[in-house]
DNA sequence: GAGCTTATACGAAATATTTCGTAGCTATTC
DNA sequence: GAATAGCTACGAAATATTTCGTATAAGCTC
């Protein structure tokens, strides 16, 4: 066990991660431009820089400082991070019941037939996996 | 048009709301006891009191101060509050896609056959509602 | 009614997060 | 090589949240 899991990103950090996940490695300048677009207002350049520096300490990003303009890239995977945040959120908001959350998410918002079908497929997959005793499956979570 | 929606509760506030939703109206003392149990550590009495006072200002709770020990009760509904928080969370974490969230919630955690069945029932209900033009439905949110 | 217990109110310290100003370095341009 | 433009580092103000200490009042017991 050599890896300490990176901590839960804050809201701002998450926003930056979204940019990195979506567009790949980028300079502070580029990231800052994206952020300024996402929000309606201009974001201070040094603000973005500072957050990236903090994220570097937390090991949420890595950077290549070979060139004068450092290039940052996400050091955590999108799915894993979302899963981590989801866990916390389910605990805090739905008392740990992921079911409740799913019901709420599906029940209280419009969901297209297409999306419903997609979920059905997922349910089928899960049930198949559940019923299969477990062959030597190579694709661990 | 007369009601300004109560603001998003903070984590601590949400924890208190859970207690109130679960146990109904209660005194500060009782709420504090529940909180101390939920967490592993003792929570300062005045800490709980203070948060409740702030929640009162935000209209997240109401209180009956007829007796010396004031009795607090939730002023926001569990489902509505969870829905509100869910919206914010979906935006921040899944870029607004509730589908992604559901897939993640179902895909990356063990889900029992029973729960899966429950979701299927929900899907059926939703599809029926989608196809039904819309009768006079009496159960408004 | 003095003393103890239990309340509430309130200010403010402690902590976490976000934001930005300023200093200083490096490359480029003339 | 001086001026300029763009970059990083860093301290610290601004904001939000959590926590608690202290003052003070109300009720209870003897």
Question: CA–CA separation, B73 vs B64, rounded Å?
Answer: 8
Task: Report whether pLDDT(B122) > 60.
Answer: yes
The pLDDT tens digits for B83-109 are: 999 999 999 999 988 888 988 888 877
Residue A139, pLDDT score: 57
Tell me which long-range contacts B44-50 makes (C-beta under 8 A, separation of at least 24).
Answer: B48/B16
| Beta strand residue intervals within chain B, DSSP E | 26-27, 61-64, 71-74
Tell me which long-range contacts B60-69 makes (C-beta under 8 A, separation of at least 24).
Answer: B60/B6, B60/B7, B60/B9, B60/B13, B60/B17, B61/B16, B61/B17, B61/B20, B64/B25, B69/B27, B69/B28, B69/B29
> Radius of gyration (Cα) for chain A, nearest Å?
19
Question: CA–CA separation, A117 vs B45, rounded Å?
Answer: 50
Residue A136, pLDDT score: 59
The owner of tokens 């050091």 is A75
Task: Report whether pLDDT(A120) > 80.
Answer: yes
> Per CB distance under 8 Å, which residues of A are interface residues toward B?
11, 14-15, 18, 79, 82-83, 85-86, 89-90, 92-95, 98-109, 111, 113, 115-116, 118-120, 122-123, 126-127, 130, 141
Buried residues in A12-31 as b, exposed as e (16+ CB within 10 A): bbbbbbbbbbeeeebbbebb
- Cβ contact B95–A126 (<8 Å): no
Please name every residue paired with B131 in a beta bridge, in sequence order, or none if there are none: none
Mean pLDDT of chain A: 88
The pLDDT tens digits for A53-101 are: 999 999 999 999 999 999 999 999 999 999 999 999 999 999 988 888 9
Tell me, in Å, how far CA of B90 is from C1' of C21? 35
Task: Report whether pLDDT(B140) > 80.
Answer: no
The owner of tokens 């939920």 is B38
pTM: 0.85
The pLDDT tens digits for A4-45 are: 677 899 999 999 999 999 999 999 999 999 999 988 889 999
Tokens standing for residue B18: 């859970």
Residue B60, pLDDT score: 96
Residue A133, pLDDT score: 67
Residue B82, pLDDT score: 95
């Amino acid at each position: 066990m050599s890896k300490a899991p990176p901590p839960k990103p804050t809201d701002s950090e998450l926003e930056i991660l979204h940019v990195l996940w979506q567009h790949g490695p980028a300079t502070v300048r580029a990231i800052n431009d994206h952020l300024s677009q996402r929000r309606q207002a201009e974001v201070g350049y040094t603000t973005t820089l500072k957050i990236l520096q903090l994220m570097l300490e937390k090991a949420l990003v890595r950077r290549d400082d070979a060139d004068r303009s450092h290039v940052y890239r996400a050091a955590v995977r999108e799915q894993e991070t979302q899963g981590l945040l989801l866990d916390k959120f389910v605990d805090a908001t739905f008392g740990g019941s992921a079911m409740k959350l799913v019901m709420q998410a599906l029940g209280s918002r419009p969901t297209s037939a297409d999306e419903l079908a997609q979920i059905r497929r997922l349910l089928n997959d899960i049930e198949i996996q559940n019923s299969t005793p477990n062959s030597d499956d190579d694709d661990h979570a």
